Structure 1
Amino acid sequence: MGIILKAYRLLITCCLLLLAFISQAQISSISQTDTLAHRYKLDEITVNAPINVLSIKQWPGSVAGIDSLELTRGNSYILAQQLNKVPGVLMQQGTLSTNRITIRGIGSRTPYNSNRIKAYWGNIPLTDGDGVTSIEDISFNDIPALQVLKGPSSALYGAGLGGVILIDPWISTPSKNQINFQSEVANYTTFSNQLSANLKHQKGFTTISTSHLSSNGYRNNSKYKRYNISLKGKYFLGKNTLHYLYNYRYLNGQIPSSLDSTDFYNTPEKAAASWAAIRGYEEANRHIASLELATQINSKFYHSVALFSTFSNLDELRPFNQLDESKKSIGLRDQLSYSHHSLRLEAGFELMIENNNVNLYGVKESNDGQLLSEAKIKRQYVNIFGLAEYTVQDKLLVQTALNINQTRYQHQDLKTNTKLNHYYPFVFSPRMGLNYQLSLSSHLYAAAGHGFSTPSVEEAQMPDGSFNEAIKPEEGLHFDLGYRFNSENDKTNAELTAYWMHMSNLLVTKRESEEQFYGINAGKTIHRGIEAQFKQSIMFGNSSELLLSSSYSQSINTFEEFIDKGNNYKGNDLPGIPKFSAYLGVNYRINRTNIHLNYQHWGEQYLRDDNSKRYVGFGVLVGKISQAFTLGAFTGQLYIGANNILNKHYASMVLINAPSFGNKQPRYYYPALPFNMYGGISIKLY
């Protein structure tokens, strides 16, 4: 193994040195024109997709954008590298199908998925009625760009505590017919293929794309495969525009689960014994679709109404039971916009109704195949939102917003023939933001707002299957103060933000056994931190460019009130949140050759509420080099890259407060991949 790793390192070093000195006289239009065009996209954020656009420079709050070029500076299927360079954002990836995204520490207590944040693909919520968000299953060829609004900072998209991630499928509209193909191969028999066709017609355009990802996995019991098919397009009808979106995803992935410290440090390629014994897996299908009619009523008024729907089913085999789950949801989003001179108004509502059928079957010898429980869960919510924005003398932008939420749960146990209806009280979430232009290049902003997150079904449901009527949504107050600098030539960009959040009704996961866990409200927390990011572009004539980017975030997250089983944890640090993160990226383009290196370091974090166990900090180095080419009607790129170049042994995801049953060690760690390489080709045909 050691010889192989040395050979890999030598190979990538030679490739980097070889391609670094490849220089061609002709400068590709892709490497210059597209680079500049996409970089300027960072100055825009879609606030009312897909029409209204507001400059990031004027946004009264903390926001970050990731454009298409940044998304291509790594694997064609791993989103974590791109999201993690945004200060305050942490995406942990235990396996290709086990992820957790947190923003400013919010959502760190969710065991196996992303909660407390919201995400949208166009006008389709990628957050279900349960509050669980899944963006990692959207193929890269369906993510031309994304934006992150931190904190409950946009009433237009609800008032999620952590923030919202917006994926804008309309940011790149094809001007002519185009076919794109990308194929990539990596260690552990990993293959990724993407194919898309952009069809331009007189009344609009249509894009059809498909992708495939498969891997044997680094660990035992970690095979994975996924297929995506998507359709998107616009059709112009006078003052009306019809937008349509559709995505189908199929995945089948084995589950190796987390490891205890002994296996993590000695045999990280193992799967957890209980999951390996039963060959645990998940198999899932999901359809999401929306149809939107947008109308430019006149020069001042714009209206859009979107109907969206999701259909999914999941078969998951666990050591303790087998889950058979199906979800059907339908929703409506209606929004009216007014813009005239210095005034902008937005108002609308979003409604979603979701039906969820959940069956659990036994897998042990005593109950193998038996139906253990059968439930129907109906969830519905309505968000009513409004926003008013006024610019005073072209210097001061004042923004006020309000979100009103009503969430209802209905739980029916088909085995006991019992039904429970539960309404959470109306939640009013106001927000106010200010942005003051100090000069042509610099802005000062401040924001204050209220956010909330309702409990998921797993958190609200007790071990006996009953609904905990006493449980309450998490709520919090959020404050931002920041400075933003953008040079006139856009070569230098910097931002510094300080934030403070106070959370109440903190939801804490309680475990009765390995298979039984639920949530309780257990106190209050305080989140404080600073975030900084900096980008500098240096041109060397017309043939080369050096782009430096860095970010840093540091936070203090503590329990203000928290008593659990008689133990008072007041003043303790919240587990699962690194004390700091630092990122440094270097991108060098010379003619048609592009070299990218970045290093990210995370500080130590606690693994338990009592702070009795901690996980040390670690750093990861990745690199990629690409060579653009033109061959007749084809343009494309050849590339090779490596992850974890320093072969650091670390946990790519941790499970906080991991339980220990039957004298077994707690399983805290999901081991990351060791040094690994990938390479591929992308081609465009016009």
Structure 2
Amino acid sequence: MKRQSRKGKALAFWAGFAVVFSVQQSEAKAASQVVVTVPSADSSSTRPLIAAQQLAPVTVQGVAYGANAVSLPSTISILGQRALTQGQPQVNLSESLGQVPGLIVNNRQDYAQDMQLSIRGFGADAPFGVQGVYMTLDGIPLTMPDGQGQSQIINLPTLGGMKIIKGPFAALYGNAAGGVIQAYTRDPPEPPSLSLRTWAGDWGSHQTTLIGGGVSGGVSGIAGLTDFRTDGWRQHSAATRRQFNGVLHWNPHADDQFSLVFNALNQDALDPAGLTRAELQQNPRQVDPAILKFNTRKSVRNRQTGLVWEHRFDADNTLRMSAYGGTRRIKQYLPFTGNFGVSAGGVVDLHDYFSGTTADYTHSGELAARRYTLAAGLSYGRMNEYRKGFVNDFGVQGALRNDQYNTVDNFAQYMQAHWELTSRLSVSGGLRHDAVRFNSTPGTDAPLSAGTGGNARYSSTDPVIGLLYKLDAHNRIYADYGHGFVTPTFYQLAYRPDGQPGLNFALQPMHLRNAEVGWRGHFGNLRAEASVYDITTDNQIVVFSSSGGRTTYSNAGKTRRYGTDLSLDAALPAHLSARLAYSYLHVRFAGGPYDGNTLPGAPAQQFYAGLTWRPPLQSAALQGFYTTLSALVRSQVFVDAKNSAAAQGYGVLNWATGIEQHHGPWRLSEFLRVDNLLNRNYVAAVVIADSNGRYYEAAPGRNAIVGVQVTREF
């Protein structure tokens, strides 16, 4: 096949332009629109609390109208820097996101496959990466136009905050309508500082992070470099990860701000895969012999840059424009040769080039003497993928088996409005249209590529509306309803269930109908939130089969899910603070081949409880001291849509403690963390629908890390 050069493709790829008038009113600023405040005894809460001590701002973007996130008709959780990083290894999102009800993050102990992340069941069966959930970092998408993302790109030690959006309003972010996770780099320090953090733990695990930044006039910036290495708890599970994340802000004058964002990831990881139940019971740290025979592993190289410009015309009119682009390369060795029949090979080699542009305009005013906000917009994103498959010659790349050039782009238009009908009642609504196009062109140099090309176009127009009523100064109730859209990803399209070569263009997108009712309130040092939801999904995408890391998908008709998310934050006597979070999810297939069965990978219940003691600031001997005891409990999860087997539920107890000292411009902190304090045996994640019955990925027993951080201010 005659192809345009990669350089030419990249130039054409970067030529895409779009104008977006989005829902942001004023976002991605170092000084945030939303300030997280918490009781002085507990600044680790995952949501805004109204109390005396004010913490560093947490930026809020997207559906936030005005300066107060708690006035939104939607379920939103906010994690501050302390909740994300203090006393944590700062390696995986599973460390801290268990505090958020409705959000499940499983640590597979397999860095080749990323975390298993889902919101209200969406994304629960992803074999690797994140599907069905939209992710951003500093306003720049981490989710590709096809809906596939990787949480490993986020450099956790540099984070300053995170926002999780659940419910109908997540649909306004596009074709991953199961939920939204927005991460934000911490603000540049003032005065400038440089910090070095390092820890060591079991199985040769250790991590070192260097972070520096500062403010000088209208220019500010922060950057962090992290190096993580582990020999792995399981056999054949060693990994190395090197990450960089940097943000540079420039304010030439009061009405303009430019932000340059860059992040990079280099990761190499061996892949231990799953175990059968018999293998799990015999030795949960072992691997199947084929894993060693074919030296299964994956390498990832990801680079991404984004530029954001925000201009305020006046107090009521704001323009925001952004452009981003990057490259991603993935090479994966699977546990078979791939040189048989019509196999596409046992080595997958992907070269991706992606980019996108946005431009936002927001207007506020008064109608009938009541405030309103209007927004309308367009967005465009594109990914070019060069996909090849080779024979796995027992851990060495062999002959070419597959060669494809794939493209996907997403062009979206949307509008949104918010109106304060009365001093207590407000209404928000929006409409989004997405058109997602996939195309695959085969090469002529691969033996099985002839006739395997094709294309597909998916589109959807999705409305969302919500009402919020203020019962009093401390209590709000809300109700929202909307439609949503989740397309197949390129990974889900990659292989056909019938085993024939070519993409699985018979796979259809999922369409959601999503309703939610909720309440938020606080009473002194107590804050509570509750929501109930009901979601119907057409064309539910499920794993059809999984063999040695190669997964095929099919549509399985409708699903019906309903559930509740509950959370409670409290500042207790004796300088104690507590957080409780509970979620219940009932999700069943309605009709189709799995009628009445439970969606695999999604636990029906999760409960988190955390208790922290932090002495008063006046205590000189214990200044900066904290100790936290936390528990996470989950119910069983089924391993396939047939519900043929399940991983039993579990409960795990964790403990962390640390202390900090100040000596002039120097700050020193030491910390200790012990996970699985009671040394329980349990399954942390499952491989959905594995054709060899290797469903189970075990968690380690009791393990600990100890570390230190040194900071110097200038």
* TM-score under structure 2 length normalisation: 0.85
Q: Deviations over 1:333-369 (max 9, x none)?
A: 2111112352112222221111001111102479961
Distance in 2 between residues matched to 1:146 and 1:189, nearest whole Å: 30
Matched to 1:576, the amino acid is G
Query: 1:556, 1:120 → 2: CA distance?
Result: 28
Counterpart position of 2:133: 117
Query: Paired residue for 2:360?
Result: 335
Quote the residue 1:96 is aligned against: 111
SS at 2:320 equivalent: strand
2:391 equivalent to 1:362: yes
Cα distance, 1:610 vs structure 2: 2.6
Which residue matches 1:87?
101
Residue segments in structure 1 that go unaligned for 5+ positions in a row: 1-30, 564-568, 661-665
2:601 maps to what in 1?
A: 576
For residues 233-248 of structure 1, what are the structure 2 equivalents within 5 Å?
233-238=248-253, 239-248=255-264
Partner of 1:548: 578
- CA separation of 1:423 and 1:684: change in aligned 2, threshold 3 A: same
1:404 alignment partner in structure 2: 433
Report the counterpart of residue 28 of structure 1 in structure 2.
none
SS in structure 1 at match of 2:292: helix
1:451-600 to 2 correspondences below 5 Å:
451-461=484-494, 462=496, 463-487=499-523, 491-511=525-545, 514=548, 517-538=551-572, 540=574, 545-563=575-593, 569-590=594-615, 591=619, 592=623, 593-600=625-632
Shift of 1:417: 5.6
Residue 379 of structure 1 is matched in structure 2 by 408
Alignment check: 8 A CA contact 1:115 1:131 kept = yes
Distance 1:53 1:193, change over 3 A: farther
Whole-Å separation in 1 of the counterparts to 2:150 and 2:217:
35
Q: Does 1:48 pair with 2:61?
A: yes
Change (3 A) 1:480 1:51: closer
Superposition deviation, residue 466 in structure 1: 2.4
- Bigger CA drift: 278-287 or 327-336? 278-287
What is the identity, as a one-letter code, of the residue corresponding to 2:316? K
| Distance in 1, Cα, partners of 2:654 & 2:313 | 49
Provide the secondary structure at the position in 2 that maps to 1:403. strand
Match of 1:612 in 2: 644
The letter for the 1-side match of 2:515 is F
C-alpha separation between the residues in 2 aligned to 1:38 and 1:79?
16
The whole-number CA distance in structure 2 between the counterparts of 1:50 and 1:59 is 8
Aligned-pair CA distance for 1:275: 1.3
Aligned counterparts of 1:471 and 1:39: Cα–Cα separation in 2? 37
Secondary structure of the residue aligned to 1:282 is strand
Change (3 A) 1:668 1:287: same
Amino acid across the alignment from 2:78: G
- The verdict on how the C-alpha distance between 1:265 and 1:367 changes in structure 2, with shifts beyond 3 A counting, is closer
1:59 aligns with 2:92: no
Alpha-carbon distance in 1 for matches of 2:227, 2:169 = 35
Describe the shift of the 1:237–1:629 C-alpha distance in structure 2 as closer, same or farther (beyond 3 A).
same
| Counterpart contact for 2:112–2:299, Cα < 8 Å | no
Q: Does 2:294 align with 1:278?
A: yes
1:52–1:176: structure 2 CA closer, same or farther, 3 Å change rule? farther
Contact kept in structure 2, 1:45 and 1:56, CA below 8 Å: no
Indicate yes or no: 2:149 matched with 1:133: yes
CA shift digits 1:589-633 (9 cap, x unpaired)? 014220101001001222232323222210010010111111231
Tell me how far apart the structure 2 counterparts of residues 658 and 438 of structure 1 sit (CA, whole Å).
Answer: 50
1:630 equivalent in structure 2: 662
Cα separation, partners in 2 of 1:159 and 1:546, compared to 1, 3 Å: farther
CA deviation string 1:219-248 (max 9, x = no partner): 111111111122212101222211110011
Question: Contact 1:315 / 1:325 at 8 angstroms: preserved in 2?
Answer: yes
Query: Which amino acid is 1:455 matched to?
Result: P
Query: 1:40: Cα distance to partner?
Result: 7.8
On the 8 A contact 1:380/1:409 being kept in 2, the answer is yes
Question: What is the alpha-carbon distance in structure 2 between the residues aligned to residue 195 and residue 52 of structure 1?
Answer: 36
Instruction: Identify if the C-alpha distance between structure 1 residues 494 and 198 changes in structure 2 by more than 3 Å, giving closer, same or farther.
Output: same
| Farther-moved stretch of structure 1 (435-444 vs 418-427) | 418-427
Q: Does 1:603 align with 2:635?
A: yes
Alignment of 1:19-418 (within 5 A): 46-48=59-61, 54-71=67-84, 72-94=86-108, 95-98=110-113, 99-158=115-174, 160-169=176-185, 172-238=187-253, 239-320=255-336, 321-340=346-365, 342-364=371-393, 369-415=398-444, 416=449, 418=451
Segment of structure 1 superposing worse, 672-681 or 199-208: 199-208
How many residues are matched? 639
Please identify, of 212-221 and 200-209, the stretch whose mean Cα deviation from structure 2 is larger.
200-209
Contact 1:626–1:639, Cα closer than 8 Å, also in 2: yes
User: Which region of structure 1 is more displaced relative to structure 2, 295-304 or 449-458?
Assistant: 449-458
Residue 680, structure 1, aligned to residue 674, structure 2: no
Q: CA deviation at 1:287?
A: 0.4
Q: 1:653 aligned to 2:685?
A: yes
Secondary structure at 2:488 match in 1: coil
State the shift of 1:205 in Å: 0.1
Residues in 2 aligned to 1:225 and 1:512: alpha-carbon distance in whole angstroms: 26
Task: Work out whether residues 652 and 672 of structure 1, in 8 Å CA contact, stay in contact via their aligned partners in 2.
Answer: yes
SS at match of 2:278: helix
C-alpha deviations, 1:384-404, integer Å up to 9, x for none? 222100112221120001111
TM-score, normalising length: structure 1: 0.89
Q: Is the 8 A contact 1:252 1:283 kept in 2?
A: yes
Counterpart Cα distance in 1 of 2:675 and 2:99: 15
1:121-165 deviation digits (Å, cap 9, x = unpaired) = 122111113322212332113321101101342454225231010
Q: How does 1:653-672 map to 2 (within 5 A)?
A: 653-660=685-692, 666-672=693-699
Identify if the C-alpha distance between structure 1 residues 54 and 450 changes in structure 2 by more than 3 Å, giving closer, same or farther.
Answer: farther
Contact 1:430 1:449 in 2 (8 A): yes
Distance (whole Å) between structure 1 residues aligned to residue 248 and residue 464 of structure 2: 34
Say if 2:44 and 2:82, in contact at 8 Å, map to a contact too.
no
Question: RMSD in angstroms over aligned alpha carbons?
Answer: 2.4
**1:430 aligned to 458, 463, 471, which one?**
463
Cα distance in structure 1, aligned partners of 2:646 and 2:290: 25
Whole-angstrom distance in 2 between the partners of 1:297 and 1:254: 52
List runs of 5+ in structure 2 lacking aligned partners.
1-37, 51-56, 337-345
CA–CA separation in structure 1 for the residues paired with 2:359 and 2:561: 34
* Alpha-carbon separation, structure 2, partners of 1:172 and 1:51: 20
Alpha-carbon separation, structure 2, partners of 1:185 and 1:139:
18
Aligned partner of residue 691 in structure 2, secondary structure: coil
Q: 1:514 to 1:256 in 2, by over 3 A?
A: closer
